[in-house]
A and B are shown apart, each in its own frame.
Chain A
């Protein structure tokens, strides 16, 4: 398994490799956050709004909290939201896709109509309303994001199952009396899994952006300091436009977000091309 992964990675193009390295670094930073952030991420540790340099590699915010520490811990929030949402969406969407594709008939029709509607529905207003009513906890945000993400894995899985169902080896397995569960475990899941796994990377990128957007509006979880929330505090600071504070307070979380999102996009583009050459848009 591991050898296979290494072989695959060697086939990556340069942007794909760079993206992978960035994500691994972010992962390390998130895991090691308590050890590599010199200062605490939640209480003041120096003069407010001091520029980068000195004891604070990326400067401090308006309360004197170290920005590097905040970015380290923010990586945890971003990764949690991204991969949590993707996992939930892949599980739920995958299940729905299997039901829809394998059963066909009216469940399929109903689910397909639902998917059509979920795709056109604007997600942000719904998220704002739900966040406003149910309180902005990290768990709620992940649940709402998953609610809007499951349609993509569901569509992929459904079309794959529809295609596989007609294959002769599945037909013959069925004539030998293979049950639904047997087919699922032995034939459908191994075929479908790589496609869903690739889609999960794209979904986590979307989720990270959506969380950043909600936090930027001030509707994120106020207790978990994500990159979006740092941007929210920075842009709501009076006089941010007339001073130099944005050069570190706004720039670094902004850069972190952009680099993360673009790296995820590069990786998923690369993997999509490998799994299915027709998808390589």
Chain B
């Protein structure tokens, strides 16, 4: 319910922002800053006002804006000369790919490292891992990305400097194409993964330590179960719950990181597109990307709530999930 409400607020904000902006659309449409202002005659003014529906009351504009949105019409990009939705759909897969790869990798490695740390609590592997990962968790993804770019791509030449695929390449087979894509995506995904690793590590270390002290684990040891079974079936399974929540809760900041990292590597996802659109003052496109990205993140969280209730029937109350 509140997700729908939030989406409505975002959509309305998106409608109001350009109308709250200082200045006149005619000035904005007809000349760049500092250039000579092309003058519209009064008839032309009237014609365009009618054409764009700006002579109607704001409520009417709002209704038609909403019905356009519901039909998937996000407007028309002034710079690319294409419908905004088409451009976004072309770029969305790249960003989704980066984000999902980073989520999976950081969760898996973070959990493994966290479990190792919890197992050797207060011994040297724990202390060493703790110090390194605390340091890493504070470094923002785009600064990490710059290091990776300059050492592995520019310095050593192991990876391409920019882009997601080699332009004008002829692939002899599908796996060659796949390799090319992975080769391009490797450094951006690494930057995002390493930046998130610290947070996932701390969480799983905590979660694992709590679980390891529980009575049912003592029972499992007393029963003489094999170590592997205890770790994977008994401990990890229960420790995973807070980790799953965290994955979705931090999706927003991960998307923010992805926007910056895409710009470091000139990776052709939505983040790179958004910056280009801002630079060329393509406002419909900026707004379209903003809506798509925020709504995607909200939807993912909505799904997470549903999944979480299935995973842990003890929690039926929404606020409990966000309490931790």
Contacts and interface: CB of A to CB of B under 8 A. Distances in A.
B289 A125 contact: yes
Interface string A115-137: 01101111111101101111000
B256 A231 contact: no
Contacts of A241: 150, 153-154, 161
Nearest to B287: A129
Given A122-B294, A235-B264, A281 B202 contact: yes
Interface string A97-120: 000000000000000110011011
Contacts of B100: none
B303 to A, nearest CB: 12
A179 B115 CA distance: 51
Contact of A122 (B135, B278, B293): B293
B150 A250 contact: yes
A122 B274 CA distance: 14
Is chain A's binding surface mostly helix, strand, loop or mixed?
helix
B102 to A, nearest CB: 14
B290 interface: yes
A246 B259 CA distance: 23
Interface residues of B, number: 50
Interface string B10-47: 00000001101100000000000000000000000000
B319 interface: yes
A120 B297 contact: yes
A112 B319 contact: yes
B249 A120 contact: yes
Contacts of A120: 248-249, 251-252, 297-298, 301
Interface stretch (A25-33, A160-168, A184-192, A214-222): A214-222
Interface stretch (B57-65, B136-144, B186-194, B230-238): B136-144
Contact of B256 (A124, A134, A205, A235): A124
A213 B141 CA distance: 10
A279 B206 CA distance: 11
Interface in A145-175: none
A124 B260 contact: yes
B275 interface: yes
What interface size band does chain A fall in?
35 or more
Interface string B118-154: 0000000000000000110011101100110010011
Interface string A249-281: 010001001100110010001000000000001
A216 B139 contact: no
B59 to A, nearest CB: 22
A77 interface: no
Contacts of B264: 235
Given A209-B140, A217-B275, A241-B154, A123 B252 contact: yes
Interface in B302-324: 318-319, 322
Nearest to A246: B150
Contacts of A116: 2, 318-319, 322
Contact of B293 (A125, A132, A205, A218): A125
Given A217-B275, A218-B275, A122 B140 contact: no
B255 interface: yes
Interface string A200-242: 0000010001001100111100000000000100010000011
B196 to A, nearest CB: 14
A133 B18 contact: yes
Contacts of B135: 262
Nearest to A134: B21
Given A122-B293, A133-B283, 9 more contacts: A119-B322, A123-B253, A124-B255, A126-B290, A126-B294, A133-B18, A217-B275, A219-B275, A262-B135
25 contacts: A117-B2, A117-B6, A119-B322, A120-B297, A120-B298, A120-B301, A121-B6, A122-B253, A122-B297, A123-B253, A124-B256, A124-B260, A125-B255, A125-B256, A126-B290, A129-B287, A129-B290, A131-B278, A132-B283, A133-B18, A213-B256, A219-B275, A235-B264, A269-B134, A281-B202
